Amino acid sequence: MPRPIRKAVFPVAGLGTRFLPATKAVPKEMLPVVDQPVIQHVCDEAEEAGIEHFVFVTGRNKHVIEDHFDRQFELEETLKARGKTDVLEILEKYLPVPGHTSFTRQQVPLGLGHAVWCARQIIGDEPFALLLPDMLAHGKPGCLSQMIGTYNEFGGNVIAVEEVPMEDTSKYGIVEKGRAIDGAFEVTGMVEKPDPGTAPSNLMIMGRYILQPEIFDLLERQPRGKGGEIQLTDAMITLMDSQKFYGKRFDGRTYDCGSKTGFIAANVAFALEREDIAGGLRRELAGLLGC
Ligand code: UTP
């Protein structure tokens, strides 16, 4: 059995320019999908997969993320005084175990690879999960749980992938598919945002990774790549020379909550699963769509 995955990294230091002005003062990870911030949904996915320690790589203007995972005494006292025990229970349920969260700052947003490298001291010498909080993976079991199944069988590094239309491949990191193995496949190559017509497949890297700690040394030496940023994909390509990478097709649907359409679609999809609001929302949608 490979070493267990106990820690997960959540890089939340990006600027969120696609959501301005909404993200001028509020981090995009705190925008709600129904009644939970996006970051909470992603933490729930990690917790379901057995993650014990949650590592957030934050940046300027992101302190409310830290506040979200802490107690709010004034609010709790007021709710108690008003007898709102149901709401208090919800707040209690989402409170992390004391000592099970860490926050570190990426001082300059030099790219995803650099954000991951900023977590190296907290992760130490053990394999870890990496979840990009703006990608909401909607499925049961959750995406990370599905990946851990593959990891427990084969070890190494695991990347979750999802099919996209061939004409969209230039927007994402794309993997090259090798030999099929039980429920997954060997990754033989990858490329970050390939030029149109050059992608090795239509399988996009959807923002969920299980990585071995050797990635940190490579990130430390990684020169800037596409967009002048330190790219995680470039370091993973180097790691492929010495370690195995497996691709796991996510059985579910991913919503890119960093884009406006993806964010709104995620809200509708998650709301339609909620008994308390689905009926009303269906009627509203039918009215809006004229059907
Ligand atoms: P994005 O590419 O979506 O960038 O980052 P962004 O800055 O958040 O958003 P836009 O494009 O300006 O709207 C993917 C993930 O990597 C994190 C982001 O927070 C997001 O979760 N990230 C990106 C960092 O933590 N640091 C960086 O330097 C870049």
Instruction: Report the percentage of the chain scoring pLDDT > 90.
Output: 90
Q: Which among 237, 209, 27, 16 is positioned nearest to 131, based on CA atoms?
A: 209
Closest residue to atom 4 of ligand 1, CA basis? 14
DSSP 80-131: HHTT-HHHHHHHHHTPPPTT-EEEEE-SS---HHHHHHTTHHHH-SS-EEEE
Report whether pLDDT(75) > 80: yes
Residue whose CB lies within 8 A of the most ligand 1 atoms, among 106, 134, 232, 257, for a mutation test: 134
| First-residue to last-residue Cα distance in the chain | 53
Is 135:173 a contact under the CB 8 Å cutoff? no
Instruction: Report the percentage of the chain scoring pLDDT > 70.
Output: 100
56: enclosing H helix or E strand = strand 53-58
Cα torsion 276, 44, 207, 59: sign: positive
- The predicted-structure confidence for 76-99, as pLDDT tens digits, reads as follows 999 999 999 999 999 998 899 999
Residue whose CB lies within 8 A of the most ligand 1 atoms, among 43, 132, 224, for a mutation test: 132
pLDDT band at 50 (very low <50, low <70, confident <90, very high): very high
Q: Which CATH number fits domain 7-289: 3.40.30.10, 1.10.3720.10, 3.90.550.10, 3.40.50.620?
A: 3.90.550.10
Domain boundaries, the chain: 7-289
- The predicted-structure confidence for 108-126, as pLDDT tens digits, reads as follows 999 999 999 999 999 999 9
Closest residue to atom 16 of ligand 1, CA basis? 112
Looking at residue 16, its pLDDT comes to 86
CA distance 173 to 117: 19
User: Span 280-290, mean pLDDT?
Assistant: 94
Q: Is 57 in the pocket of ligand 1 (CB under 6 A)?
A: yes
Q: Does this model's pTM top 0.75?
A: yes
3-state SS of the chain: helix, strand, coil percent to 5?
A: 40, 25, 35
Looking at residue 133, its pLDDT comes to 96
- The predicted-structure confidence for 220-245, as pLDDT tens digits, reads as follows 998 888 889 999 999 999 999 999 99
Looking at residue 20, its pLDDT comes to 93
Looking at residue 110, its pLDDT comes to 94
How many whole angstroms from 279 Cα to the centroid of ligand 1?
35
246: enclosing H helix or E strand = strand 245-249
**Rounded to 5 degrees, what are φ and ψ at 280?**
-60, -40
